[in-house]
Structure 1
């Protein structure tokens, strides 16, 4: 899910879904929802190291497997924020890595190094905003990615040293192991309280989140 067409489609659906109604941008066969899993960590949906956006005690958890280089992940970022804003205090987003693209493992290390400087969100949003510049189809420009992170406030010299830490490499390895175990094959892939949306339309995700919030 990393074509330029998909990005344009998701951008359109972001307007339509949250304005005039639902709009399906793919015709994939819906997959049945996964059963609720009581212990997300045991199931591999979240891990103690996972970065969380939103209240830690929120009853509804969106686990998103994303790739910093993925165009669709970039397009989905504001959509997920809109969904969360519809349910203040009820939903948290847990970010997991699925480094499928060339160079994405390095981008993950940039994000984890930024996390050590309490700059995860600013650096994430900067990398997504400038993604067309550094994550090109011709090949990633990782030095530019580091530069973008620096412009977001990251101490790049320190971060490049931190990126070599075994703990950061372990985060990436654990997430990729969970990617394999859960059968994640594309980004972004979402699970809500252990359930998969019935399709890839953003409205499917919004409906599942609303259903889980209502069930609390």
Structure 2
């Protein structure tokens, strides 16, 4: 064993000494020459990095699903629609100014109509604009007047962008006390909900809206009703 180690050391020593004699400029020059001779090295390196990042993110998301399921599905500070006692929970992260979220509205409504045992947990995740933040805070504040669901569907059905003026006009149209609404928007639980949405979405690796969590499945992007139903059925069968 000692003889082998000694031989290996003697073999490596010239290489190490050669490397030490190379200047940084020469090392870069040799690297560029290698890339010119074999350009696919770059693509292979990028693919390897992407695979490593995907694996790391998948591990992180699995950890969230395993250890933070309660925060994700049963946060008392998150609105619940559908059947509050349903056997399958669907969590949706959304932004009122996201066109795909607005398209998904009818798909989600269809799911709730078709399956009376679905709990729908909403995570307000305003990432597109200041108007999105204002709309999210207004919607969360509407809980104090028992009008979250009505206000939510109305905001999702808007043809114009959600901005302060359009949001408050809509609030008045559905009968909200707008003065009280503005006051309730500053309550700490409103910002706490948004902060928790930011934390959970980052931990799960979501980078856009809408994004869904259904059982152990992470579903980024627009999803049609039949796909939602299939994922709900899959979750129900695995429990």
The TM tier, using the shorter chain, reads 0.7 to 0.9
Partner secondary structure for residue 196 of structure 1: strand
Whether 1:40 and 2:63 are equivalent positions in the alignment is no
Give 1:45 deviation, angstroms. Answer: 5.2
More helix as a share of residues: 2
Hey, what does 1:57 align to over in structure 2? 85
Tell me the alpha carbon deviations over residues 15-39 of structure 1, each in whole angstroms, 9 at most, x when there is no partner.
Answer: xxxxxxxxxxxxxxxxx9x766476
Count how many residue pairs are aligned between Structure 1 and Structure 2: 176
Gaps of 5+ in 1: 1-31
Whether 1:159 and 2:186 are equivalent positions in the alignment is no
Aligned 8 A contact 1:37 1:193 in 2 = no
Match of 1:194 among 192, 195, 216: 216
Higher RCO (C-alpha under 8 Å, 6+ residues apart): 1
Give 1:181 deviation, angstroms. Answer: 1.5
Gaps of 5+ in 2: 1-57
In structure 2, what is the Cα distance between the partners aligned to 1:213 and 1:86? 15
Change (3 A) 1:117 1:199: closer
Partner secondary structure for residue 47 of structure 1: coil
Whether 1:127 and 2:136 are equivalent positions in the alignment is no
Aligned 8 A contact 2:93 2:212 in 1 = yes
Aligned 8 A contact 1:83 1:206 in 2 = yes
TM-score by length of 2: 0.66
- Listed as ranges, the matches of 1:1-216 within 5 Å are 37=66, 40-42=69-71, 44=72, 46-88=74-116, 90-102=117-129, 103-130=131-158, 132-133=159-160, 135=161, 141-197=163-219, 201-202=223-224, 203-216=226-239
TM-score by length of 1: 0.73
Superposition CA RMSD, Å? 2.3
Aligned 8 A contact 2:89 2:118 in 1 = yes
| Pair member with larger Rg | 2
Aligned 8 A contact 1:64 1:93 in 2 = yes
Give 1:65 deviation, angstroms. Answer: 0.5
